[in-house]
Structure 1
Amino acid sequence: MTFLTLTNIQKSFGPVKVVHDFNMAINKGEFISFLGPSGCGKTTILRMVAGFETPSGGTIVINDRDQSSLKPNQRNIGMVFQAYALFPNMNVFDNVAFGLKIAGIGKAEIEKRVKEMLALIHLEHLGDRYPYQLSGGQQQRVALARALAPKPQVLLLDEPLSALDAKIRVSLREEIRQIQQQLGITTVFVTHDQEEALSISDRVVVMNAGRADQIGTPFEIYNKPATRFVASFVGTLNLIEAKVVDPAANSVAIGDLVVRLKDKVEAAAGSTVQLAMRPEAGSLNGSAKGDTTLSGPVVSSHFLGSVIRTRMNVAGNIVSFDMFNDPSITPPAVGETVNLRIDADDLLVLQA
């Protein structure tokens, strides 16, 4: 059931248009991530949903109610910011209780709700601490509890994990997802970290220069990128130059090797196209599943712990491929010619 609808949303700051005709329908209880580089418009869309920015055009509807005439405090939205924004003169209990007090909730109900929220974030023993006495991860948990305490209809998260170190970031994002699923709250999460977006989202919106280049499940975004930008921004990507041999047969040439692609080739014979391939798509095992073999000398090999990433030269294209670390197998040496077994289905033709 559609719960949050954005229709033809536009936003300009003076002559600069930062969001172009954005459209999306978000279901109740869905976790949506907006992913993209700085300045792509993702936070601006979040702020328009919250009411902190007014759209230059379009409508925002939450639970069948147009939000255009509503102020931020009338929208029943919880928001968590990157910088925590906790009140330094209030302890944890009072920070979480703040929105409830503003709403005029009774003292007994406030105490009950705050205890529920502190239990939810596993900080019930720190209610009397002040923000400066907490770690960054604990402060962000308190900010989340404060946003959730008034039972908002939508939760907005604006890069809430970017100020934390890597290990805390991973554990906290999993905790946020668990809490979101437990409460069933419709959530919009803004991040520039692709791993975050792919790991916890129901759907991902990849933003590029104020537009949604692609909206899809993490699986679709990673494995079937719709544009060149999505393919290059999400994950590591090999770009391979090829010449079109027969567009009707979807055949292209990579050097002397002619490959018949599963992907549609919409270019004239003789023209150049770019193919994309993920590093994990190939295997040096000659008996591995695949219908195409890329051959060339090894340029470099890097040990990354569980994975060894090797680069080879295929008809002038530097192609990376990954293999799991196996102590019994020696990685290929620089200069050694290797044969990489792939499936033509893993070669995507990049559209502009």
Structure 2
Amino acid sequence: MPEPFLSIQHVRKSFGTATVVQDFNLDIEAGEFVSFLGPSGCGKTTVLRMVAGFEEPSGGRIVIGGKDVTTLKPNQRNIGMVFQAYALFPNLTVAQNIGFGLKVAGVPRAEIDSRVAEMLDIIKLPAGEFGSRYPYQLSGGQQQRIALARALAPRPKVLLLDEPLSALDAKVRVSLREEIRSIQKKLGITTIFVTHDQEEALSISDRIVVMYGGKAEQVGTAFEIYNRPATRFVAGFVGTLNILEGRLAESGKVRVGTGEIALKDKLDGARPGDALSLALRPEAITLDRRKGDDVLMAGEIADVQFLGSVIRVRVRTGDSTVSLDTFNNPATPPPQIGDKVEVSFSSGDVMLLN
């Protein structure tokens, strides 16, 4: 099996008595796009800064391309970094900003000009129109494209992106994240993308590292993270989740609200009467009975939220309340609060939370 291109081995980081990263391990293949996802303060940016060389690990090692870079300075690691703030030089033109790193490295002027034009073409901001502009003459999205081009211009081995889209409005964020992914694939550059936005991570990553409390809670593809969360934190943080509290019945099923659920998970050590916490995604539930569903629960509409293409409905059933998603149909009005309904789902979609 080939060696990983980027290897983070038993890395930890403490500031005084506070440990912010605990025994972090991750291997990343060449050309892979990996996202660090988690809430503020979980350690994701600290890990990124240690890879970049801006923070020194309190323990562990970082290897890039087979070379131990743990003690090397940032400019000795051949890494490109894009920050949340654009960090462009306001007194330099777009072309000068992109070529700055190349100029510092002593690259000949003709080569710099050629590389700048190439990068502007990649980010779809033609040199003839944008090269001579200054940062204040650009939109936020355009400025972040320039910051990306500047990071890529020296042909780094690894690209690090620290929440680069958080300062942009929603529509621009979606467009730019797709462009970043497209450029990353085109160049084949190994990339780490830090975000607290689960939609961003789910939509563009080869793999996702969900972090909490300075640790990697789970590493996997978007499909694995969403559909097979390894911990209660991952289950609750990624996507919307129904938490159902039930009790184990004599039949071996779990009694929740007005229904009983036959879990696919093993109930090692559980006894009748024991309280159990279950999880179920909103899209797994439907109003009325759906063919193939083996759980049917009677309830009452408690709330209806119109979210555009999706309508989120909350149904009170016994002592529990479940949320479900249904697509908007202009020809069919949504249910009304107080309506008596039935909801159904498959017990195979229910996850047991530890």
Shorter-chain TM range is over 0.9
Work out the CA distance in 2 between the residues paired with 1:182 and 1:253. Answer: 52
Gaps of 5+ in 2: none
* Counterpart check, 1:196 vs 2:200: yes
The answer to whether the 8 Å contact 2:247/2:256 transfers is yes
Counterpart of 1:96?
Answer: 98
The answer to whether the 8 Å contact 1:284/1:338 transfers is yes
**Bigger mean CA deviation after superposition, 198-207 or 277-286:** 277-286
Equivalent residue for 1:229, pick from 229, 233, 237 = 233
Q: CA deviation at 1:309?
A: 1.0
How big is the alpha-carbon RMSD for the aligned residues of Structure 1 and Structure 2?
Answer: 1.3
* Counterpart check, 1:310 vs 2:313: yes
Q: CA deviation at 1:167?
A: 0.5
Provide Cα deviations, 1:289-323, integer angstroms capped at 9, x if missing partner. 32211221111112222111111112211101111
Work out the CA distance in 2 between the residues paired with 1:306 and 1:130. Answer: 40
The answer to whether the 8 Å contact 2:313/2:325 transfers is yes
Equivalent residue for 1:105, pick from 79, 104, 107 = 107
Q: Alignment length, in residue pairs?
A: 349
Counterpart of 1:298?
Answer: 301
Provide Cα deviations, 1:68-114, integer angstroms capped at 9, x if missing partner. 23110000000000001111111000000011111111111111111
Label 1:250 to 1:151 Cα distance change in 2 as closer, same or farther (>3 A).
farther
Counterpart of 1:135?
Answer: 139
TM (norm. structure 2) is 0.96
Work out the CA distance in 2 between the residues paired with 1:83 and 1:303. Answer: 34
Counterpart of 2:73?
Answer: 71
TM (norm. structure 1) is 0.96
Equivalent residue for 2:166, pick from 159, 162, 165 = 162
Instruction: Name the SS for the 1:105 alignment partner.
Output: coil
Gaps of 5+ in 1: none
Instruction: Name the SS for the 2:249 alignment partner.
Output: strand
Q: CA deviation at 1:331?
A: 2.4
Counterpart of 2:340?
Answer: 337
Percent identity, please.
61
Work out the CA distance in 2 between the residues paired with 1:229 and 1:287. Answer: 30
Question: 1:1-352 alignment to 2 at 5 Å?
Answer: 1=2, 2-124=4-126, 125-245=129-249, 251-269=253-271, 270-351=273-354
Q: CA deviation at 1:284?
A: 2.0
**Bigger mean CA deviation after superposition, 140-149 or 258-267:** 258-267
Q: Which amino acid aligns with 1:231?
A: A
Q: Which amino acid aligns with 1:218?
A: A
Instruction: Name the SS for the 1:169 alignment partner.
Output: helix
Work out the CA distance in 2 between the residues paired with 1:252 and 1:267. Answer: 14
The answer to whether the 8 Å contact 2:11/2:23 transfers is yes
Work out the CA distance in 2 between the residues paired with 1:305 and 1:103. Answer: 51
